[in-house]
Structure 1
């Protein structure tokens, strides 16, 4: 990733929320090809709201979202067709369908998903609802990455998962970025995310209160955790 690369996805003075009530205000962030940007913050900080708005699942209440340099107000399905990948906080598997069929309904080839996550091959005939939480998250991530998205938005991949599975998922995101994708990762587990990220920003009460290189955040992690991540925000 080069700092000279223009952002694929960018938010300028973004305000977002529900029923015209903003809980995210004046957020500036961008994602460039080949990098992982992690958004950290306590519960209620506005992380998921920001991700939903960037994806087109929620309309922005103010500011601007730019996709490949152009302003966009497109809905989620249009952004996905244009090269956006999304792994939501709620695991997006269809429980009654097999792993194979879940992969088939994704935007990329099944074979590519299995190349990225060969662990899924032995599970192809199993109903997705019978998978463990980690296996379901691998399935969701494999399906999104198989399409080789220009930008992947991933929300709380590590939620409720064993450290070994979290490490596997983080490695997959790093590999996707190394192939040229931009990744915007929302996480509460700062240390695991920072280990694979290039840049980080911290949201608190709906505003960016810190941003900088991931290595700087890692060096200063105790202060960041104490100052920004220790308590719940009200947003």
Structure 2
């Protein structure tokens, strides 16, 4: 059931990766908890990283974003090796929606959108649900509204690649569907999306390809269609509780 490479059945198959990691190692205090991870994201596709708690999914995403330094291997952005910090990568076209909702609670929804890299009106076109809330303090929003705000702000800049970590965490299914649909629409407009998720079924419903991490290593890679078809076997084999970071 293991796959050495990650084939894709999407229109992006013939395009070069925008973001690519080769034999990436990452961790904290120079102790690796992610080892020899290779993956890529191409324009117009959603790639999902799945795995149990502690598999190294968030560590991988933080390292790809530049928030954590890599401990080995190589990250390539638009075909060129990079070790630039997060803020430089954002200027170069990387979008990030972190696991902890990145809203400034004392500012209004409008001001939270203003500090983003994209136009406020574009964010409201993507998430019109935010328009009636523009004057409300972000800290008074529901969890789902805060996640829509974070996602709208990132997508309004039309990033080349969006990294999104656990969008569905603690949210109602209706909100999760709304967020997943927004990611799918962004990919259909040409963005690459790398999504970390625990809820495999919902993520695979919008994804093109998938990687499964366990104990810091890729143990499965393939198309989302393959993962959906064999999901019960995959969950049984790989989704037990992990002990990594």
Q: TM-score, normalised by structure 1?
A: 0.99
Deviation at 1:232, TM superposition (A): 2.7
Instruction: Measure the CA separation in 2 of the matches of 1:153 and 1:2.
Output: 18
Aligned to 1:26: 36
Question: Residue 35 of structure 1 contacts residue 178 of structure 1 at CA under 8 Å; is this kept in 2?
Answer: yes
Within the candidate set 142, 148, 173, 1:163 is matched to 173
Q: Does 1:121 align with 2:159?
A: no
Name the residue aligned to 2:90: 80
- SS across alignment from 2:14: coil
Corresponding position of 2:26? 16
The superposition leaves residues 177-211 of structure 1 with CA deviations (integer Å, 9 ceiling, x where unpaired) of 00000000000000000000000000000000000
Name the counterpart of 2:51.
Answer: 41
Please report how far the alpha carbon of residue 85 of structure 1 lies from its aligned counterpart in structure 2 after TM superposition: 0.0
CA contact (8 A) 1:128 1:136 kept: yes
1:181 aligns with 2:191: yes
TM-score, with structure 2 as normaliser: 0.95
Q: Deviations over 1:85-140 (max 9, x none)?
A: 00000000000000000000000000000000000000000000000000000000
Query: Which of the residues 124, 127, 150 maps onto 1:140?
Result: 150
Deviation readout 1:145-182 (Å, 9 max, x if unpaired): 00000000000000000000000000000000000000
Instruction: State the Cα distance separating 1:73 from its structure 2 match.
Output: 0.3
Counterparts of 2:243 and 2:214 in 1: how far apart (Å)? Answer: 6
User: In structure 1, what is the Cα distance between the partners aligned to 2:12 and 2:61?
Assistant: 23
Is the 1:154–1:184 Cα contact (8 Å) retained in structure 2? yes
The question of 1:150 aligning with 2:160 is answered yes
Distance in 2 of aligned mates of 1:234 and 1:172 = 31
Q: CA deviation at 1:30?
A: 0.1
Aligned residues: 235
Structure 2 residue 230 is matched with structure 1 residue 227: no
Matched, 1:218 2:228: yes
Which of 61, 64, 86 does residue 54 from structure 1 map onto? 64
Q: Give, in whole Å, the separation in 1 of the partners of 2:225 and 2:241.
A: 23
Q: Deviations over 1:37-91 (max 9, x none)?
A: 0000000000000000000000000000000000000000000000000000000
- SS of structure 2 residue aligned to 1:215: helix
Per the TM alignment, residue 229 of structure 1 is displaced from its structure 2 partner at its CA by 1.2
Mapped to 2, the partners of 1:160 and 1:224 lie a distance apart of 24
Map of 2:217 onto structure 1? 207
* Counterpart contact for 1:42–1:233, Cα < 8 Å: no
Query: Is structure 2 residue 200 aligned with structure 1 residue 190?
Result: yes
Indicate if the aligned counterparts of 1:15 and 1:25 stay in contact, CA closer than 8 A.
Answer: yes
* Cα 1:233–1:224 shift into 2, 3 Å: farther
Report the 3-state secondary structure (helix = DSSP H, G, I; strand = E; otherwise coil) of the residue aligned with 2:220.
strand
